[in-house]
């Protein structure tokens, strides 16, 4: 039996679920799972629908839904199930390593088309997985020059998403706009705590009892984009800086991996500076 996935965002109105169900039934599609949510503040409706049946021409189903739904509705039918991603790195390997292993065993949910770094420390490791690595040195260059070279590398790969796997460079608003809603970053804390350098030393010196990580979409406001996933783990007085760093890296990998999975499965909707996530 053919399966289809339909994503809908629109202004909320009475009867939307019945309307959508009616259109799908008319096209002989049976709903197997439907998750919906209304943001009452913005009066916006979100839905993720799994259905089975003999799929009609997508453009006909799209037109039928758009005709019935409120004006300016966004409808996506059967988004590409395997996204293409580019990963940006600096020197830390743990998030890259986790993603490359998952990519190698086809459990990432996306294809890593390339890795780019402003240092070459991870080049041989990346190439060991038969993934192209591009070293783009940032030194003695303006941000504009560096980002132009980075875009020249990324553009031919046509990535659906850009993953910042501990990429320690602040991207310009112009660069972010090129991939609006498609850059995912992993941050070493519950934002905005312990920002800047040496976050785990800051946490150690503060005597925290929880450390965590945050995966979020990148916007022009540093570390303030829509949050996709957050987790914490307990620590205690026996944890020195080295132990906190080790524990922090583990949770960073886990949070980034889960965030990517949710995004690649089209379970995440951006709603202003928040996210709607149908897990």
Dihedral of CA 138/173/227/111: which sign? negative
Please report how many Cα atoms fall inside a 13 Å half-sphere around the Cα of residue 122, on the Cβ side. Answer: 28
- Give yes or no: 152 in active site: no
Dihedral of CA 254/109/179/35: which sign? negative
| 3-class state of residue 33 by DSSP | strand
In DSSP terms, 75 is beta-bridged to 8
Give the DSSP letter of residue 226.
P
Measured CA to CA, the distance from residue 84 to residue 64 in angstroms comes to 30
- DSSP string covering 41-87: TTTEEEEEEEEES----HHHHHHHHHHHSPTT-EEEES--SSEEEEE
Q: Are 260 and 186 in contact (CB under 8 A)?
A: no
- DSSP string covering 78-126: S--SSEEEEEEESS--HHHHHHHHHHHTT-SSEEEEEEEESSSTTHHHH
Query: Of 12, 160, 223, 266, which one is the catalytic site residue?
Result: 223
Instruction: List residues with catalytic annotation.
Output: 223
């Amino acid at each position: 039996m053919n399966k289809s996935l339909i994503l809908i965002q629109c202004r909320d109105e009475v009867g939307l679920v019945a309307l959508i169900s009616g259109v799908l039934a008319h096209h002989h599609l049976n709903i197997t799972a439907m998750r919906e949510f209304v943001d009452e503040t913005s009066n916006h409706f979100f839905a993720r629908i799994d259905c089975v049946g003999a799929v009609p021409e997508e453009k006909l189903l799209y037109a039928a839904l758009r005709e019935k739904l409120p004006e300016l509705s966004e409808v996506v039918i059967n988004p590409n199930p395997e996204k293409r991603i580019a990963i940006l790195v600096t020197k830390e390997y743990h998030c890259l390593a986790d993603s490359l292993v998952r990519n190698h065993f086809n459990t990432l949910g996306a294809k890593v088309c390339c890795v780019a770094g402003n240092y070459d420390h991870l080049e041989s490791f990346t190439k060991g997985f038969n993934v192209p690595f591009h070293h783009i040195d940032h030194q003695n260059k303006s941000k504009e020059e560096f980002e132009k070279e980075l875009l020249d590398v990324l553009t031919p790969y046509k990535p659906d998403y850009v993953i910042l796997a501990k990429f320690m460079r602040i991207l310009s608003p112009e660069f972010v706009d090129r991939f609006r809603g498609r850059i995912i970053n992993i941050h070493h804390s519950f934002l905005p705590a312990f920002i800047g350098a040496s976050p785990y030393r800051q946490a150690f010196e503060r005597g925290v009892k929880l450390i965590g990580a945050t995966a979020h979409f990148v916007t022009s406001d540093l570390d303030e984009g829509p949050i996709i996933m957050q987790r914490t783990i307990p620590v205690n007085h026996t944890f020195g800086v080295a132990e906190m760093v080790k524990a922090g890296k583990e949770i960073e990998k886990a949070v980034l991996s889960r965030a990517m999975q949710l995004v690649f499965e089209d379970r995440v909707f951006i709603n202003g500076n928040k996210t709607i996530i149908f897990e």
